[in-house]
Structure 1
């Protein structure tokens, strides 16, 4: 007796005939019949009664197939779990979250983990199609039901500008004042930087764009303008200062994303620890 023969018996029971089962299994009917006979011989009982209209489980067959189906399902789950442990996991990380990644990695102890720089929107698509196991990104407006999220950190949006800038001396800056200054944004995620202005009916003056978060900060340091949406827990050059904003602006929310159906317990556990420590 082997597992293949048990699978064949399950297929025959579901199909109700050898002919239909052979079609589903893509094997010849005589071959399927021989495998069934071999299984019945190994067990020592008939599993099916045969007739011109098809096959029907015997009482012994019903007892065997009930337990065999559970066993085959358990075997398949075991194989899936083993393959999952043997494969490398991919973690997407949005730009500007290197500090979060540095705190997350020591909790994982997984030499197979691969980190993939990736915008949040792309992370969501990749998590859905299984090419990415999890991601660190910024809270999206909505998510597919299959993708779970965990809030890791919430930070107020503040202006980041040179300390010698005229607005840097204020305790809090109004968006209307900032709108007249050049706003430096990343090339791929400028929308998040404009949201506060749009909510308040303002049209900010757009300055240069940079490929990455680090280069945005460098442009601000070089005097190209100011920026928003840089979490104040992220180290910045001494020449720069964070200044609160007068208006209420939606906070920056860093989230951990994963597929609800995936076996990523270690990643989720590490993310929970990260969330607890802020």
Structure 2
């Protein structure tokens, strides 16, 4: 059986403000495409296909585009933590990282309601500090989806690590389930064009469909696999790419033994099976 997790990083303008340090009119408009055009198209497709998905949302997005973010929950999808304003945790002290994580959770609750309780985290940088997993574990976060030590199989994330030119030593296993990601299964490197820094992601939807289909077909040969796609409404939301995603969902649905799930449900299911 293969579990498919469709995930969407709803960065909106926070990507440009924090990660890319570009706040002029053009990058802001590219960020606005996500709530204005991309997200409605994504939600409509998910409704049409009868599929629940997971959206990783920076606290900045939840406040700036509150009605759009609330619609994600109203449609029955999961929202996970995606930083305060799409920042990297790498290089922060443990105290500063903990403070920023708590501020992000508090801001999400203020925007979405005090009963909102996120159970998942994805680093905006797809990278973690040596303290990140321990901090998530302390806050009862069920899963992380930022790392790449496997392709289609969840695993227990390590609580820290030690690394030098002499040796690498992973820390002890935590209680946080890692749902692995992959650049191959992210729409950003395939489609995103940036002139600063130069990033020529101009592949056609047909090329990416073939790549993602072949990755999925291989994952379907692995018992208990979790096939996780990472997408962004401002990227995947363009018309021809949405048509490609629709075609891919139909292909996956036609494959025997395939189910669709939020990442939270997939992580909980794996956690039960692994004990």
Query: Taking structure 1 as the reference length, what is the TM-score of the superposition?
Result: 0.25
**Larger-gyration structure (1/2):** 1
TM-score by length of 2: 0.25
